[in-house]
Amino acid sequence: MKHQSIIVTSVMAVVIFGLSAAAWLKAPDDFSDSERRELEKFPKLSVEAIGDGSFMDDFESYTLDQFPFRDAFRRLKAETVFGVLGQKDNNNIYVADGYASKMEYPLNEPMLDHAAERFEFLYEAYLQDAENIYFSIVPDKNYFLAEENGYLSLDYEKLIGCMKEKTGYMTYVDLTEHLELEDYYYTDTHWRQENLTDVADVLLDAMGAGEMAELGADAGVSDGDSVGTPVDGTENSSLQDGYEVKELDLPFYGVYYGQAALPMEPDRLKYLINDTLENCIVTSYDTGSPVEIPMYDMEKAGGKDPYEMFLSGTRAVLTIENPQVKNGKELIVFRDSFGSSLIPLLAKGYETITVLDIRYVNSAMLGQFVEFGDQDVLFLYSTMLLNNSLALK
Amino acid sequence: MIIMISFVLFNAQGIGEAVSYIGAMFGAGDLAFTSAETIYYFRSYLVVFAAAVIGATPLPKTLVCRLSENKAGKWLLDILEPVALVVLLLVVTAYLVDGSFNPFLYFRF
């Protein structure tokens, strides 16, 4: 008994004092790759910060963020939650049918009201001359995964019904029946561009640009010279619906990979190109003056979030001009990140597409960047954003 | 009951939230007895509930006493106890690091 007490005390002391010493000696990390976020730094000490309690709040975040072997401990926790305690989710992240996802629940009606109010503001302020305004909701992958596997799920029917009711001035285009679970990445929130050609065609048909796209320039499969500079190891894989499917030779660890803190196989990121897309001119206006950017940003493909390669990720205002289409049609798309991979596939139907993200530019300022007229207009938003719409300005 | 109420007081961001939670615990707020959420979390925490229920009985203590009555059992316990304690310490640390529990709860007071 005495020996056992000595062993227990010694081991505990090693663990406790060892971890404490490591915590003090370890140089602070700036960024967590697995969680894709900045880590907390040691907070500034001041009488004010102590008085209002913010010092301790920040210190708590600092100690958690800078804990030694943090990723290993997060993994241990996740394994305990799923493997030992048999819980269904870890911090709302779950894995079902090989797909990692985050539970989105419950339906937040005030958020739907906010989104609808923002859309109505845009309609009143800029779209009075637009005759063709379309609205499409992108279901997140929980739509196909959550309820079926016993997880808490949004009432999607109610969400779509509410939004349709609040946006009666738009023509709703249903995408749900053209999507399935396989159209989404295993480890990321988003959908796979290589599976979206039918979705793009549904939208183009609904907006009356499908026929134009077929009559327009022969898309022509690309000769392989890329859009942007190819990332090392980019390989051709196949042809599909008039596009060449290319695959990055880099693993794609999506946003849920880090959050799940579980060992998962990475996704493969594929993208579609053809002559039409190669000849498109993409211009960003985020710096105040026009800057030409690649349709697919290969630097970002090798970065922390490879999905940002599509239209260079977060951009408030950009245009896509397609010199191969001469039908006089223009499209304005209000979108979130799901639009980044889909919108290039709409280029075949329009001379110009203007892409606007009102999470990064105030709606009231848009008149300074865009000349609104009788263009076709598409509101393309995911269920996740609509249910958490405070970001819409 | 006292423990449940006192933990609501500890955890609440303010008096209003505490009163609202405690009220809901006693039937105010027109909440249903069960919902999709209660069923989901009950299922998800079933193993934890079972462990808590068994741990609240004399059964674990009885088992340990029985084991320590013979030499082999005693030898097994001598090994298992420190291993279990270290594993528990690491798991508890992992929970703290993951941030799902607020380790500095008491600093609010």
- List, for residues A267-294, the tens digit of each pLDDT value: 999 999 999 999 999 999 988 789 999 9
When mean pLDDT is compared across A41-50, A216-225, B4-13, the lowest value belongs to: A216-225
- pLDDT for B108 equals 44
The answer, for A50 touching chain B at a CB cutoff of 8 Å, is no
Residues contacting B21, CB < 8 A, separation 6+: B8, B12
Dihedral Cα A56, A62, A67, A72, nearest 10 deg? 120
- pLDDT for B107 equals 44
The answer, for A62 touching chain B at a CB cutoff of 8 Å, is no
The answer, for A3 touching chain B at a CB cutoff of 8 Å, is yes
Residue of A nearest to B102 (CA): A60
Mean pLDDT of A82-108: 94
Mean pLDDT computed over every residue of chain A: 89
Distance CA B80, CA A344 (A): 60
Query: Is residue B91 within a helix (H) or strand (E), and if so which, with residue range?
Result: helix B71-98
The answer, for B17 touching chain A at a CB cutoff of 8 Å, is no
Distance CA B59, CA A357 (A): 61
- Token pair 């896509």 is found at A320
Are the C-beta atoms of A182 and A195 separated by less than 8 Å? yes
Percentages of chain B per state (helix, strand, coil), in multiples of 5: 75, 0, 25
Q: Do A8 and B85 touch (CB under 8 A)?
A: yes
CA of B3 vs chain A CAs: smallest distance (Å): 24
Residue of B nearest to A67 (CA): B97
Q: Do B40 and A86 touch (CB under 8 A)?
A: no
Q: Do B86 and A15 touch (CB under 8 A)?
A: yes
- pLDDT for A221 equals 57
Phi, psi for A299 (deg, rounded to 5): -70, -45
Q: Do A87 and B45 touch (CB under 8 A)?
A: yes
**Number of CB pairs, chain A paired with chain B, less than 8 A apart:** 79
Distance CA B37, CA A233 (A): 47
Q: Do B82 and A152 touch (CB under 8 A)?
A: no
Closest by CA position to A269, among listed A256, A255, A250: A250
Mean pLDDT of A131-135: 95
Residues contacting A205, CB < 8 A, separation 6+: A211
Nearest by CB: A8 against B81, B97, B98: B81
Q: Do B86 and A91 touch (CB under 8 A)?
A: no
| Whether the predicted pLDDT of A33 surpasses 80 | no
How do the domains of chain B map onto residue ranges? 68-102
Instruction: Give contacts of A56 with chain B, Cβ < 8 Å.
Output: 104, 107
- pLDDT for A5 equals 80
- In this prediction, the answer to ipTM > 0.85 reads no
- pLDDT for A286 equals 87
| Whether the predicted pLDDT of B109 surpasses 60 | no
**CB atoms near residue B61 (< 10 Å):** 10
Distance CA A125, CA A334 (A): 14
- pLDDT for B65 equals 92
Best mutation site among A39, A152, A158 for testing chain B: the one with the most B CBs within 10 Å?
A: A152
- pLDDT for A217 equals 47
Which structure tokens are listed for A144?
A: 């196909």
When mean pLDDT is compared across A35-44, A105-114, A307-316, B50-59, the lowest value belongs to: A35-44
Task: Read off the pLDDT of residues A328-354 as tens digits, 9 standing for 90 and up.
Answer: 899 999 999 999 999 999 999 999 999
Q: Are strands A291-293 and A317-321 parallel, antiparallel or unpaired?
A: unpaired
Residue of A nearest to B37 (CA): A152
Task: Read off the pLDDT of residues A197-246 as tens digits, 9 standing for 90 and up.
Answer: 999 999 999 999 876 666 554 555 554 444 444 444 455 556 677 899 99
Question: Residue B62 in 3-state DSSP?
Answer: helix
| Whether the predicted pLDDT of A59 surpasses 90 | no
Residues contacting A336, CB < 8 A, separation 6+: A357, A359, A380, A381, A382, A385
How do the domains of chain A map onto residue ranges? 22-68, 100-391
- pLDDT for A226 equals 41
- pLDDT for A66 equals 85
Instruction: Give contacts of A3 with chain B, Cβ < 8 Å.
Output: 78
CA of B5 vs chain A CAs: smallest distance (Å): 24
- pLDDT for B106 equals 47
CA of A12 vs chain B CAs: smallest distance (Å): 7
- pLDDT for A65 equals 83
- Token pair 């639009």 is found at A339
Nearest by CB: A56 against B37, B89, B104: B104
- pLDDT for A393 equals 93
Q: Angle at the Cα of A95 (from A89 to A97), degrees rounded to 5?
A: 140
CA of A53 vs chain B CAs: smallest distance (Å): 8
Q: Do A105 and B107 touch (CB under 8 A)?
A: no
pLDDT band, very low/low/confident/very high, at A56 (cuts 50, 70, 90): confident
Best mutation site among A7, A66, A149, A154 for testing chain B: the one with the most B CBs within 10 Å?
A: A7
Are the C-beta atoms of A368 and A289 separated by less than 8 Å? no
Residue of B nearest to A73 (CA): B94
Mean pLDDT of B3-31: 87
Q: Do B86 and A76 touch (CB under 8 A)?
A: no
Instruction: Give contacts of A78 with chain B, Cβ < 8 Å.
Output: 98
Distance CA B79, CA A386 (A): 55
Q: Do A60 and B102 touch (CB under 8 A)?
A: yes
Distance CA A36, CA A307 (A): 13
Q: Do B40 and A12 touch (CB under 8 A)?
A: no
| Whether the predicted pLDDT of B102 surpasses 80 | no
| Whether the predicted pLDDT of B39 surpasses 70 | yes
Residue of A nearest to B107 (CA): A56
Helix residue spans in chain A (DSSP H) = 2-25, 47-51, 54-65, 70-79, 109-126, 142-145, 156-166, 197-206, 210-215, 255-260, 275-279, 298-301, 338-342, 383-386
